[in-house]
Amino acid sequence: MIRLFAILIGLVFSGVALLSFGVGAYTFATEEHEPTAEHEFHLAPKDVAYSFDGPFGKWDKVQLQRGYKVYKEVCAACHSLKFVSFRDLADLGYSEAQVKALAAEWQVPGIDPDTGEATLRPGLPTDRFPLVYPNDVAARAANNNAIPPDLSLMTKARHDGTNYVHSLLIGYADPATYKNAEGKSLAQEFPEFSTPPGLNFNPYFANLNLAMAAPIAADGQVTYDDGTTATVDQMATDVAAFLTWTAEPKMQQRKQTGTWFILFLLFATTLAYFSYKNIWAGKKPKKGSSE
């Protein structure tokens, strides 16, 4: 009886699923499939090699310091870093005194000790990086109705985030003349495609048009302290590395800890394997003797 019911219910569910399939397949077969510009011209980020790649990767502290400088002089105009504290900058190889000095270069919200009124004061190592805008409305008002996202976690909040940040920063192009790697011209393939005023064309951005204008526009926009030539690509690479650190400051510690875990586990598992074989030695027939 229960099996009769089950067969009935099974036939109903699979029948309705197949009905959905039939309708979907009919629609799929009869409807026109217009390829979209977003689908045809969106690019996956380019691969860039970093010192922190791979299981034994380590931060390149000099690169992170360069990246910090790019963030401070370029990105920080609009983007906050609200989950990072100034004291964290010690990870970049700065001494305690240097961290203090770096923190003091930023103005953070404070309270006037005499009047109790809100005021600004120089940052301390214990402070977080300050917000750029007091609220979302102010952010929208200043940025053509777009909110510049916080960058603390940006490289973890996008697929292949480190490469994405780098590619996005160097990927700006003119939609009128843009051709992809296969030589297809966007203007010819999708004549109706347009970048609305106030937006900027970038094939690495999901819908190809983003509010942010190219922030790194020319070589030498930032002057590096270590003498590295500040090409657009170099600045984009360095700031992507820096934002990888802000998103995952414990990455190096994580990989080093993991290496010890794996080494120990390999050793312990080998021992466990031999003790298993040893204990079972008399209980298993020799290979090939059964069946």
Partner 1 sequence: MSFPWANHYEPQNPLMKWVDEKLPLPRLVYNAVGAGYPVPRNLNYMYNFGVLAGFCLVLQIVTGVILAMHYAPNALVAFGSTEHIMRNVNWGWMLRYMHANGASFFFLVLYLHIFRGFYYGSYKAPREMIWLLGVVIFLLCMATAFMGYVLPWGQMSFWGAKVITGLFGAIPLVGEPLQIWLLGGYAPDNAALNRFFSLHFLLPFVIAGVVILHIWALHIPGSTNPTGVEVKKESDTVPFHPYYTAKDGFGLGVFLILYCLFVFFMPNALGHPDNYIEANPLSTPALIVPEWYFYPFYAILRAFTFDFILTAQLWGVLAMFSAILMWFFLPWLDRSPVRSASYRPLYRIFFWVLMVDMAALFYLGGAHAEEPYIMFSQLATAYYFLHFLVIVPIVSSIERPKPLPYSITEAVLGKDDDAQLGATVAAKA
User: Which residues of the shown chain bind partner 1 in the complex (CB under 8 A)?
Assistant: 2-3, 6-7, 9-11, 13-21, 23-25, 28, 55, 83-84, 88, 149, 152-153, 156-159, 161, 206, 247, 249-250, 253-255, 257-259, 261-262, 265-266, 268-269, 272-273, 275-276, 279-280, 283-285, 289-291
Nearest to partner 1 of 7, 77 (CB atom): 7
Nearest to partner 1 of 123, 249 (CB atom): 249
Which residues are within 8 A (CB) of 211 and not within 5 positions of it... i.e. 6 or more apart? 143, 144, 145, 146, 198, 199, 200
What is the chain's length?
291
Give min distance, CB of 10 to partner 1, in A. Answer: 3
CB 87 within 8 A of CB 99: yes
Nearest to partner 1 of 218, 271 (CB atom): 271
Give min distance, CB of 201 to partner 1, in A. Answer: 19
Give min distance, CB of 153 to partner 1, in A. Answer: 4
Give min distance, CB of 237 to partner 1, in A. Answer: 21
Element (H, E) at 159: none
Q: Which long-range CB contacts under 8 A does 170-179 form with residues at least 24 apart? A: 170/216, 170/232, 170/233, 170/236, 171/43, 171/202, 171/203, 171/204, 171/205, 172/200, 172/201, 172/202, 172/213, 172/214, 173/201, 173/202, 173/203, 174/201, 175/201, 175/208, 178/41, 178/203
Q: How far is residue 166's CA from residue 162's CA, in Å, rounded to a whole number? A: 7
Give min distance, CB of 127 to partner 1, in A. Answer: 14
Nearest to partner 1 of 18, 176 (CB atom): 18
Chain centroid, CA 27 distance in Å: 37
Class of residue 228 by CB neighbours under 10 A (exposed 0-12, middle 13-18, buried 19+): middle
Nearest to partner 1 of 219, 273 (CB atom): 273
Give min distance, CB of 18 to partner 1, in A. Answer: 5
Give min distance, CB of 275 to partner 1, in A. Answer: 6
Q: How many CB atoms lie within 10 A of CB 73?
A: 13
Nearest to partner 1 of 230, 242 (CB atom): 242
CB 88 within 8 A of CB 247: no
Nearest to partner 1 of 21, 112 (CB atom): 21
CB 55 within 8 A of CB 49: no
Q: What is the dihedral of CA 129, 130, 135, 137, to 10 degrees?
A: -90
